[in-house]
Amino acid sequence: MTPPTKFLILSDTHNFEHDASKAYPLCQPMPKVNVVLHCGDLTYIGGLPSYRKALKMLDRFDAEFKLVIAGNHDVSLDGEYWRASLGKEDDPDEHDKAVELMTGRDAEAANVTYLTEGLHTFTLKSGVSFNIFVSPYQPEFCNWAFGYKHNEDRWNIPPNADIVMTHGPPQGSLDVVRDSHLGCAQLAKAIEKTRPLLHCFGHIHEGYGVDLKNWDQEGGKKDGEQLPVKFSRAGIDGPGGRLMLKRGESTLMINAAIMNDHNKPENAPWLIELPLSGD
């Protein structure tokens, strides 16, 4: 029997630098995993030195795959936004340089795969494969990058996505700030339609946590496969949790923002053990 696939999930690291003398969870030794998922906001405001810092941070993780998307703060990775927002001191070529950095030799040396919006398939050495749909976009937010109009329905997630990784949350799931849900309503509908096993995101620091979303039976897969899942906070001593996922009937929601609502890296990455099928 193939062992479960181990995912380490984090987001909103915002120029985080490892310092073993500090007590932050991300400064502690991290477990070896199969896949690292970073849900965006590597930096505070882009910049090539900050992307290099992010790659250095990611290089520390021991994983077969390290899959990374941008977030609204990674401004120069959004070419359309960057060209439209150039200031007098901005480099018009920084977008191209940033993409080259995140996909070139430095990224390869850190074993980082930078993903753009769409469906991607990966196969582990164990033979286990998974489909992951990713997107850095979220409803427009304070004129940051990767924004779209709040009433725009831009989501068309393929039905064979096992995992969805977005920067922003769906409305109603780990997205509350001051009693208001700030997630995307259209994304929530798309997730309910697709019903992936796992949806991970960040963006809303206040929403950090785990939630199991159980869908109505209508539209679900009959006799869906029951999958035992373990979850815990990496870098923090203490028991984790267990739950049962059922394909087509439930989705594990993860808000993995490392920064808290005071922009301190006090939240731990999530360690998820998820059984996946091979080819």
Distance CA 184, CA 96 (A): 29
State whether CATH 3.60.21.10 applies to domain 5-274: yes
pLDDT for the residue 239: 77
- Helix (H) / strand (E) containing 156: none
Interatomic CA distance for residues 164 and 76, integer angstroms: 23
User: What proportion of the chain, given as a percentage, has pLDDT over 70?
Assistant: 96
Q: Which residue has the higher pLDDT, 278 or 158?
A: 158
* Residue 27 confidence (pLDDT): 95
Q: What string of H, E and C letters represents the secondary structure of 241-269?
A: EEEEEECCCEEEEEECECCCCCCCCCCCC
pTM: 0.96
What value, to the nearest 5°, has the Cα angle with vertex 80 and ends 71 and 13?
A: 15
For residue 84, which phi and psi values (nearest 5 degrees)?
Answer: -80, -15
Alpha carbon of residue 265 to chain centroid: 16
Tell the residue number behind the tokens 């949806």, with chain if given: 199
Q: What is the mean pLDDT of the chain?
A: 94
In this predicted structure, what is the pLDDT of residue 279?
A: 45
Question: What pLDDT, in 10s, does the model give residues 112-163?
Answer: 999 999 999 999 999 999 999 999 999 998 899 999 999 898 999 999 999 9
Listed in sequence order, the residues at least 6 apart from 124 whose beta carbon sits closer than 8 Å to its beta carbon are: 5, 34, 35, 64, 65
Average pLDDT over residues 239-261: 94
Measured over the CA atoms of residue 128, residue 165, residue 240 and residue 250, the dihedral's sign is: negative
Using a 10 angstrom Cβ sphere, with 0-12 exposed, 13-18 middle and 19 or more buried, the burial of residue 70 is buried
Neighbours of 66 (CB within 10 A): 22
Residues 63-122 have pLDDT tens digits of: 999 999 999 999 999 999 999 988 888 899 999 999 999 999 999 999 999 999 999 999
